[in-house]
Amino acid sequence: MAWGLTDDKLHSHRKTLRIPRSKRCESMGLWTLVNSWCNDHGTDGAVPRDIWDEFGTTVESAELLVAAGFWEDTAEGYQVVNWAEYNKTSAELDEKRTAEAERKRKWREEKARKAAEEKARSEGSPPNVPAGQAGPSDDVPSESALTHTHTHTQLKDMSEPPASNTPTNSYPAEFEKFWAAYPRKEQKRDASKAWQAALKRASNEELIEGATRYGADPNRESQYTKLPAGWLRADMWLDGPIQGKNGNQVRDGKSGLLVER
């Protein structure tokens, strides 16, 4: 999850005051939602032309942000001015996620190593000998060829660290069912955490049903599809159909026609 910074003087900043008072709250509300959207999607402040429609406002609100100096016009839509000054860039976010993944990988390996050593101790084997490997036998005289051969083989095995069968990237089977049903498959580990928390508020069947319904919604657009973790944290399995472009209609899944809500 990424966080953006909002200056405590934003309310009285000269750019904010350039927006007419009657339109200020709506335009700055759009600015706030867009900042959140950019952090969620890792766009470095770039937004599509019709972003205003996604958040239920008007193109006038977007143009007022351009006129005030908060946004700039681009060929594809708009660009938030000075994005990197108050937000992490997509490269910085990727670096942070990579470092976090490496830290967790090392932690899992260390946990698996300690578990293998503990298991070996509980079974009476030396900690560096794989589980199931017997120690030297006292029943055969030390000068026998059998003792020499057995000990040589054992010493060779002891020089190799125990293999770990602990999976490094496993998820509960119930989560995998939800993951298969959700239409956007990104940031799986974060989604797993959000799913665990969501199970305190709903059953997995409800989450899967909501994800399936969201994925099949004819008004859902790929570029605006929520990340699974954000969808879960916002309890969006409770949401109804996505509104059509005119705000009062939804598209019928069978006929493909827009119908009144």
**Pairing verdict, β 258-260 and 249-251:** antiparallel
223 in Cβ contact with 48 (< 8 Å): yes
Residue reference for tokens 């005051």: 17
- The backbone torsions φ and ψ at residue 139, rounded to the nearest 5 degrees and listed phi first, read -85, -15
Tokens of 18: 């350039």
pLDDT at position 247 is 56
| Segments of the chain scoring below 70 in pLDDT | 1-4, 125-169, 245-261
Q: What is the pLDDT of residue 256?
A: 47
Would you tell me how many other CB atoms lie within 10 Å of the CB of residue 210?
22
Strand, coil or helix: what is 33? helix
Residue 19 pLDDT: 94
Q: How much is the pLDDT for 4?
A: 67
